[in-house]
Amino acid sequence: MKKRSCKILSVILCLLLCLSVVSLSESAVVKAEIIYPDHYIPYHSEYGTIYYVVENNEACIVACNEHVTDLVIPSEIDGYPVTGIAEYAFMNNSIKTVIIPDSITYIGAGAFYDCNLESLNIPDSVAFIGEGAFADCKNLASVNIPASIETIAGGLFGGCDNLKTVNISEGILSIEMGVFEGCKSLTSITLPESLQYIGEGAFCLTGLTCLEIPANVTYVGNMFMDVFLEEFIVSEENEYYCTDENGVLFNKDKTMLIACPGSLDVTSYTIPDGVITIAPYAFACNFRLKEITVSEGVKEIGECAFANMVFLEKINLASTVERIDFWAFYYDVALKEIVIPESVKYVNESFAPLLSLEKAVIYSRDLDLTGSYFGCTLNPGNTAEEKAAFCAAYQKRIVAQYTFDDEKWQEADKELELLNEKFGDREDPFAYTCPIYCYQNSSAEAYAKENNIEYRYIRCEIHTEELVPGTAATCTQTGLTEGKKCSVCSLVLLEQTEIPVEDHEMQSWVNDYDAGTATRNCKNCAYTETVALDVQDNNDVEIIAPENPDLDFDIAGIDKNSDSFVLVQNTVKENTEDKYEVLKMFDITLKNKDGVHVQPDGTVKVKLPLDFASEGNYKVYRVNDDGSLTDMQAVREGSHMVFETDHFSIYVIVGDDVAVQEPPVEEKPPQDSEENIFETFANFILTLLKWIARLIGIFEKL
């Protein structure tokens, strides 16, 4: 009973999925969308009471008495033609036989779900049948499907365990998803030449041993999972599909392997050259194969492609595989070894449970195994005997499940319960995994460390040396020296060492005289220094610079009579107009704490005293080491000449003739008139005597 309940739930799930399938017959779909009134009208007949509703002057059967076993649906009730059977009209009823009149044009979804029908003849008048209309009719043994419906709806006969004979008429175009799923007694079926579409899982879990695909089929869905199927046969005229010599189904150009028969009579299989994609469920539930070789060129392994292959011990993946999809190796409990090539870039919950795994090699360095369940064991058990016991029990249960052997399924389920009791519940799903072989510093190593899985490094016999570039240290982070590693296995051949953080590379100070601060920034990062401006006053010279206790200005005035002053004066005369002469000269130097002359870091403001009352023209020159002059573009501010500089040496203040002339003689206050007359007379006598002396000198010469 436990097994039967599981299968019923499975069929119901299939029916729910099938409800999403869109019918090809649009007119029929519209026809089936009936709005039922609240009250049904009873109709009493010799076969029992049935209930109907009237819509648009047509009657639709909506229910019958639950004790009805032989049902005859009338073609007319109270003058209304009976044209439809509503959704779930007879669900879970005791009906064994039913006669459907030619007036019926549609049958709603689930109309006869879980009835006791033994046979079914659908009249040609029926144009539409909803999903799962006859699903789970366990006693249904034969059915005739007319061409009038065109599309066999999803899950229509799902779970009909005893369905043996199906007559599908010519003219039918489509068999939707899961139509015959779980029909274990269906061992043969003939598909009409008119057929164009076979949906996903249409023949999943049936008893078919051979499936012939007609010439006009343009689409075959995956998810066959038919453990009894021995081969596919495809019409030579079909333009979309073909098979190989083993009866394996491919698309026409053999770039996609669609399905391998579950009872393919070989223990090993090599996927042919040219295949790029292995379709979802392609090998699912194959209980014969023990080894599969995925040939070079295959890039994608689809969802559940190798799921439930409980006797598969080894799979050889090509170096071209890039993607392994959801549950690709689900329940491959006998798989002993797997090697993931470096080309693989994506896996998704693909590797659980792998009870018998002894060796896992992951060549991919950057493959993210998070969520892959790689190596996850379903039960505790560390020794070979323990793993073998669990593996055998799971093999027995899964085979029994898919071959519909309830007795063996229950036996295997009991064995697993006893094993679980013996070894206890597992807390850590990764506690009993095999070692992972991976490259050093790979994502697989990180995954193993995170899940406490034993790991070992892949090593080369001969290493191929590869230079690992170093990185320069900065003022914010350390650097690394150059190293070496093997380009194949990533083994570190020369360790990189850390280079300490460097000092900040500071730019020059920028002075903000209004704020009284100086600021400078690092060239390589956001580091900033701000200090107060310090005013140094010496010899009436003011220098405004960033405060620094390790530096000191030395300011010396040079006397006008010194050789240095005369030398500079000559230099000024040579390099400027003659009217300029040196008025003052200062020797300004900057010393560090060791007394060594240095230059300022950035600009500073200098104020040289003027001490001249005249409003003449003044300039400040810097005397360079080579004797040249630099005009400092100084401006006069009161009694000082002010400028900015980033270099110190000899500075001179120069001025023109107007600027350096002696102050004018003060005028004497006017004297009285007698003194003025006397002074005038004296001057006259003095002038006269000068002329007499000059004349005497002239006569003497004569």
pLDDT band at 616 (very low <50, low <70, confident <90, very high): confident
Among the residue ranges 165-179, 406-420, 661-675, 685-699, the one predicted with the least confidence is: 661-675
Is the pLDDT assigned to residue 379 strictly greater than 90? Answer: no
Identify the residue with better confidence: 20 or 474: 474
Average pLDDT value for residue range 340-358: 82
Average pLDDT value for residue range 80-100: 95
pLDDT given at position 156: 95
Among the residue ranges 319-333, 452-466, 659-673, the one predicted with the least confidence is: 659-673
Buried b or exposed e, range 490-523, using 16+ CB within 10 angstroms:
bbeeeebeebeeeebebeebebeeeeebbbbbbe
Is the pLDDT assigned to residue 600 strictly greater than 90? Answer: no
Per residue in 525-547, pLDDT (tens digit) is 889 988 888 887 777 888 888 88
Is the pLDDT assigned to residue 505 strictly greater than 90? Answer: no
Kindly report the average pLDDT of the chain as a whole number. Answer: 83
Sheet with strand 142-145: strands edge to edge? 119-121, 142-145, 165-168
User: How far, in Å, CA of 201 to CA of 208, rounded?
Assistant: 13
Per residue in 98-123, pLDDT (tens digit) is 999 999 999 999 999 999 999 999 99
Average pLDDT value for residue range 363-373: 81
Is the pLDDT assigned to residue 211 strictly greater than 50? Answer: yes
β-strand partners of 119: 142
Tokens 């006969």 sit at which residue? 157
CB 470 within 8 A of CB 483: yes
CATH superfamily of 1-208: Ribonuclease Inhibitor (3.80.10.10)
pLDDT given at position 695: 57
Q: Which helix (H) or strand (E) holds 640?
A: strand 640-645
Is the pLDDT assigned to residue 694 strictly greater than 60? Answer: no
Is the pLDDT assigned to residue 425 strictly greater than 80? Answer: no
Average pLDDT value for residue range 384-398: 85
Is the pLDDT assigned to residue 2 strictly greater than 50? Answer: no
Average pLDDT value for residue range 5-31: 35
Residues 6+ apart with CB under 8 A from 570: none
